[in-house]
């Protein structure tokens, strides 16, 4: 009963904020970035800031510091944050999402993403290093890469934001220029981080703990996950591909990022490209003569690319160390899909590397690659144009492969120079950013199947890519039959951007993975792997490119016991299947595909080189609790009076108890019974 009592008292005092996302601490070889609270949480009087003039109250005029600011999303920019960073009058920040998205754009990422970890350096194309030639993300404020010593939370629920504003209106609004009367509405944010300084420091501490302690206290974890890959023609996953066999790699990234933890919609920065890639893979697999093509095609989806190319650098490392079925020498050419949804006049730009093209043989192969892509776009509603010889490659996984070997390659994007995407690596890179629109009043099932204009346009890009890949692989037949399906693209966009927990995703995953289907999809790489995105890309790819095999559940789960299963060549998955129309049960089946996972953990952690400048060193700090709540706070005078009164009552009660105890024989003397006679 005691705990029930305590809870009800707590509920009367505090209003918890349940729909929030914190800014957490990340670390690399040299820095810590992000935010944290003190160990017991940070508290402050709430002040609503909806225009820049409101900051004066917080920074100079207000009589009740420190303040917790409820900041309008349109003011969440570098200029305002630098003012707040330099004062002790601010104890924390709650950011309300701007609706609609800020028209001027908002990107907390860097102006030069992944700088220093691509191919350009003082030794290779120094004129292109550090974005000297092209600033790719001019809107980038670098806020995500700053270190803040106070907590910053995103308020995801408009109703909770309204509750805070109402509490502020009722108690905190300044009256006639003077400070408001107590009690005041306050907020408390908990987000204390365990790791400090850098990856080198936190990994060393964790390592020492693991060596000497029975219960080690790990303070940070490397960002890690899995890359997803498959091949058009099956290959032996446990052996090595014949050195003479040429393979074309098609690549894209599947992760994104924003200022707040696990808020990474990534519509244009990741989803548009990997959905196009998946659609192209499906279109190619439907071609009749794919097993006869002289060259194989490998579909690759890299995880962790936002954080200095974690996935691609690991795959290159594994190829170099013979830990992958392919070696770098097997790679014939490289085609990468980057941001492709925001095309102007249906133009797609082909970016190549001007430095490697100075080599005559590479130039010839790159020219052939560009010509095949251009020919494949004829008759399609997509125009392919060259970005120009003086233009370097945009931030791309291809750069990590170029660091290892001069591979002919092209990166396809919707921008010639700077990104078209004004919300790169931000919480506003949403379906609206890539102009996804649905008619009013559709049910979830109808929305899943509705073909948007965005889906049609991405399907056209997928068709061009699939036809080009077929020709590159040596296909000689007419390619008009190779066609990406806009309906599939629509389903994928809905599932990866709007609602993961939909009937199609439910039908294509394993029964034990039902729990990964959350509501709103996020594409942050994280530290516990595989994340939802990885699993779903794996099973969507298997569904679109695999074959349904007539095996029982037992045979499907243990294919090595089945003759002719070719376990080294294929992966088998027992998936849930669709709902039976006449009942609530599903009709499961077995899918055979060439889809596999490979580790996306930076080689720096494999080599224990935590200060590496060659490989990504990003880690995420651990924390104990993340929560936010609001409550009314009394004046300091009232708190002191209450405390003094409490102490006085305690002293009086102690003295009274002592006095009663000392005089107990007098006070509690039992009178004799007058009827009793002593003899």
Banded pLDDT at 3 (limits 50, 70, 90) = very low
| Count of CB atoms situated within 10 Å of the CB of 363 | 16
Residue 131 tokens read as 């974005």
In terms of Cα–Cα distance, which of 354, 349, 252 is closest to 302?
Answer: 252
- The answer to whether residues 21 and 260 touch, using CB atoms and an 8 Å cutoff, is yes
Q: What is the pLDDT of residue 400?
A: 97
Coil, helix or strand for 152?
Answer: strand
Do 330 and 392 lie in a common domain? yes
For the stretch 373-419, pLDDT in tens is 999 999 889 999 999 888 999 999 999 999 999 999 999 999 999 99
Give the ranges where 453-513 is alpha helix by DSSP (H): 453-472, 486-497, 503-508
| Count of CB atoms situated within 10 Å of the CB of 89 | 16
Report how far residue 599's alpha carbon sits from residue 225's, in angstroms, rounded to the nearest whole number.
Answer: 6
In a domain, 80, yes or no: yes
Answer yes or no: do 89 and 146 share one domain: yes
Structure tokens at 193: 């981080």
pLDDT digits (tens, 9 = 90+) for 156-172: 999 999 999 999 999 99
Tokens of 348: 């797609």
Tell me how far apart the alpha carbons of residues 279 and 405 are, in angstroms, rounded to a whole number. 29
CA–CA dist 9, 4 (Å, integer): 9
Q: List the one residue out of 543, 437, 413, 420 whose CA is nearest residue 493.
A: 437
What phi, psi does 318 have (nearest 5°)?
A: -65, -35
Q: Retrieve residue 296's tokens.
A: 């194989």
User: What is the spatial distance between Cα 187 and Cα 48, in angstroms, rounded to a whole number?
Assistant: 12
Structure confidence at residue 358 as a pLDDT band (50, 70, 90): very high
What lies within 8 Å, CB to CB, of 325 at 6+ separation is 235, 236, 237, 238, 239, 240, 241
* pLDDT, position 671: 66
Structure tokens at 448: 């899943």
Which residue do the tokens 């790699």 mark? 249
Read off the pLDDT of residues 199-224 as tens digits, 9 standing for 90 and up: 999 999 999 988 888 888 899 999 99
CB atoms within 10 A of CB 514: 11
80 and 179 together in one domain: yes
In what side-by-side order are the strands of the sheet with 220-222?
147-148, 32-35, 26-27, 619-621, 220-222
Work out the pLDDT band at 469, boundaries 50, 70, 90. very high
- Assign residue 366 the CATH number of its domain: 3.40.630
**Which tens digit of pLDDT belongs to each residue from 424-446?**
999 999 999 999 999 999 999 99
Flag whether pLDDT at 288 surpasses 70: yes
pLDDT mean over 559-572: 87
- Same domain as 270, residue 254: yes
Q: Are residues 526 and 563 in the same domain?
A: no
Residue 639 has a pLDDT of 80
pLDDT band per the 50, 70, 90 thresholds, residue 176: confident
Kindly state whether residue 119 falls inside one of the protein's structural domains: no
CATH number of the domain enclosing 12? 3.50.30
Question: Is residue 232 assigned to a domain?
Answer: yes
For the segment 344-371, the average pLDDT, to the nearest whole number, is: 94
Q: Are 480 and 468 in contact (CB under 8 A)?
A: no
* Exposure class string for 450-469: b at 16+ Cβ within 10 A, else e: bbbebbebbbbbbbbbbbbb
Strand order in the sheet with 589-593: 547-549, 589-593, 571-575
Same structural domain for residues 493 and 571?
Answer: no
User: Per the structure, how many domains does the chain have?
Assistant: 3
Separation between Cα atoms, residue 315 and residue 149, nearest integer Å: 36
* pLDDT at position 1: 40
pLDDT of residue 663: 85
Q: Within a domain: residue 200? A: no
Share of residues in the chain with pLDDT > 90 (%)? 82
pLDDT at 560: 87
pLDDT of residue 676: 56
Q: Please say if the pLDDT value at position 294 is more than 60.
A: yes
Q: Is 230 helix (H, G, I), strand (E, B) or coil?
A: strand
Report the predicted TM-score, pTM, of the whole model to 2 decimal places: 0.92
* First and final C-alpha spacing in the chain: 56
- Answer whether 137's CB lies under 8 Å from 111's CB: yes
Co-location of 350 and 305 in the same domain: yes
Q: What pLDDT was estimated at residue 312?
A: 98
146 plus 19 within the same structural domain: yes
Please check whether residues 582 and 452 belong to one and the same domain.
Answer: no
Torsion of CA 78, 80, 84, 87, to 10 degrees: 110
Q: Is 14 left (phi over 0), alpha (psi -120 to 50) or beta?
A: beta
Helix ranges (H only) for 498-570 are 503-508, 532-545, 553-557
Average predicted confidence (pLDDT) for the chain: 93
- 8 A C-beta contact, residue 546 and residue 591: yes
176, 274: one domain:
no
Confidence at residue 2, expressed as pLDDT on a 0 to 100 scale: 46
The C-alpha atoms of residue 619 and residue 622 are separated, in whole angstroms, by 10
Which tokens belong to 16? 């918890």
- Averaged pLDDT for residues 468-496: 94
- Binning pLDDT at 50, 70 and 90, where does residue 567 land? confident
Q: Residue 2 falls within a domain, yes or no?
A: no
Range of the domain at 99: 8-106+141-193+626-637
- Count of alpha carbons within 13 Å of 66, Cβ hemisphere only? 17
CB 309 within 8 A of CB 115: no
Residue 182 shares a structural domain with residue 310: no
> What residues contact residue 577 under an 8 Å CB cut-off, 6+ apart?
507, 586, 587, 588, 589
In sequence order, the 6+-apart residues with CB closer than 8 A to the CB of 483 are 283, 463
Does one domain contain both 167 and 247?
A: no
Instruction: Report the percentage of the chain scoring pLDDT > 70.
Output: 97
């Amino acid at each position: 009963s005691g705990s029930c009592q305590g809870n009800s008292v707590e509920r009367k005092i505090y209003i918890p904020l349940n729909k929030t996302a914190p800014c957490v601490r990340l670390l690399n070889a040299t820095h810590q970035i992000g935010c944290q609270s003190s160990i017991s949480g940070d508290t402050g009087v709430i002040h609503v800031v909806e225009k820049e003039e409101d900051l004066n109250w917080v920074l100079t005029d207000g009589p009740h510091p420190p303040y917790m600011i409820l900041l309008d999303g349109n003011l969440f920019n570098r200029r305002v944050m630098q003012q707040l960073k330099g004062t002790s009058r601010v104890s924390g920040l709650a950011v309300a999402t701007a609706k609609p998205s800020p028209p001027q754009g908002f990107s907390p990422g860097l102006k030069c993403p992944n700088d220093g970890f691509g191919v350009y350096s003082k030794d290779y194309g120094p004129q292109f290093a550090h974005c000297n030639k092209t600033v790719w993300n001019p809107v980038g404020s670098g806020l995500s890469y700053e270190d803040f010593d106070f907590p910053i939370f995103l308020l995801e629920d408009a109703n909770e934001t309204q509750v805070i504003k109402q509490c502020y209106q009722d108690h905190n609004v300044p009256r006639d220029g003077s400070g408001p009367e107590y009690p005041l509405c306050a907020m408390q944010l908990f987000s204390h981080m365990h790791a400090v300084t850098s990856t080198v420091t936190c990994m060393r501490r964790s390592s020492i703990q693991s060596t000497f302690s029975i219960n080690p206290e790990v303070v940070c974890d490397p960002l890690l996950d899995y890359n997803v890959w498959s091949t058009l023609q099956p290959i032996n996953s446990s052996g090595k591909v014949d050195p003479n066999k040429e393979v074309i790699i098609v690549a894209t990234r599947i992760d994104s990022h924003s200022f707040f933890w696990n808020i990474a919609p990534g519509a244009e920065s990741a989803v548009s490209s990997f959905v196009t890639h998946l659609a192209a893979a499906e279109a190619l697999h439907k071609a009749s003569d794919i097993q006869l093509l002289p060259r194989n095609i490998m579909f690759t989806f890299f995880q962790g690319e936002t954080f200095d190319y974690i996935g691609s650098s690991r795959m290159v490392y594994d190829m170099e160390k013979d830990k992958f079925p392919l070696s770098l020498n097997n790679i014939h050419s490289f085609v990468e899909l980057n941001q492709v949804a925001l095309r102007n006049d249906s133009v797609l730009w082909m970016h190549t590397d001007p430095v490697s093209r100075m080599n005559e043989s590479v130039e010839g192969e790159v020219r052939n690659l560009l010509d095949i892509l251009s020919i494949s776009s004829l008759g399609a509603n997509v125009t392919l144009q060259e970005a120009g010889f003086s233009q370097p490659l945009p931030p791309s996984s291809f750069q990590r492969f170029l660091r290892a070997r001069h591979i002919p390659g092209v990166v396809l994007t919707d921008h010639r120079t700077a990104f078209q995407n004004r919300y790169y690596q931000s919480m506003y890179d949403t379906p609206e950013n890539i102009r996804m629109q649905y008619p009013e009043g559709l049910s979830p099932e109808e929305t899943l199947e509705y073909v948007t204009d965005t889906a049609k346009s991405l399907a056209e890009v997928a068709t061009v890519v699939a036809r080009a890949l077929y020709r590159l692989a040596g296909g000689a037949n007419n390619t008009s039959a190779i066609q990406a399906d806009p309906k599939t693209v629509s389903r994928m966009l809905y599932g990866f951007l709007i609602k993961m927990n939909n009937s199609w995703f439910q039908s294509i995953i394993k029964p034990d993975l039902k729990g990964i289907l959350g509501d709103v999809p996020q594409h942050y790489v994280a530290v516990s792997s595989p994340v939802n995105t990885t699993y779903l890309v794996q099973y969507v790819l298997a569904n679109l490119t695999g074959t349904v095999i007539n095996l029982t559940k037992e045979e499907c789960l243990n294919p090595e016991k089945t003759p002719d299963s070719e376990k080294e060549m294929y992966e088998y998955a027992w998936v849930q299947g669709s709902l039976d129309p006449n009942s609530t049960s599903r009709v499961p089946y077995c899918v055979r595909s060439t889809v596999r996972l490979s580790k996306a953990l930076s080689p720096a952690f494999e080599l224990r080189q935590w200060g590496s400048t060659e490989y990504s060193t990003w880690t995420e700090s651990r924390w104990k609790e993340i929560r936010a709540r609001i409550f009314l706070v009394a004046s300091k005078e009232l708190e002191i009076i209450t405390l003094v009164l409490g102490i006085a009552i305690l002293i009086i009660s102690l003295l009274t108890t002592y006095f009663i105890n000392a005089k107990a024989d007098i006070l509690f003397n039992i009178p004799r019974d007058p009827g009793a006679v002593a003899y």
